[in-house]
A = this chain, B = another copy of it.
Amino acid sequence: MKIIDKPRISRQRRIILEELQKVKSHPSAQEIYDMVRRRLPRVSLGTVYRNLEILAESGLIRKLESSGAQRRFDSEMGKHYHVRCLRCDRIVDLPFKPLGSLENNFSGLTDYLIMGYRLEFVGLCPECQHQELAGGKLKEAVKE
Contacts and interface: CB of A to CB of B under 8 A. Distances in A.
Interface stretch (A12-20, A31-39, A40-48, A65-73): A65-73
Contact of A1 (B56, B85, B99, B141): B141
Interface residues of A, number: 54
Interface of A: 1-2, 56, 62-72, 81-83, 85-86, 92, 94-95, 97, 99, 102-103, 105-106, 109-126, 129, 137-138, 140-144
Copies of chain A in the complex: 2
A112 B141 CA distance: 15
A144 B119 contact: yes
A105 B97 contact: yes
A99 B31 CA distance: 36
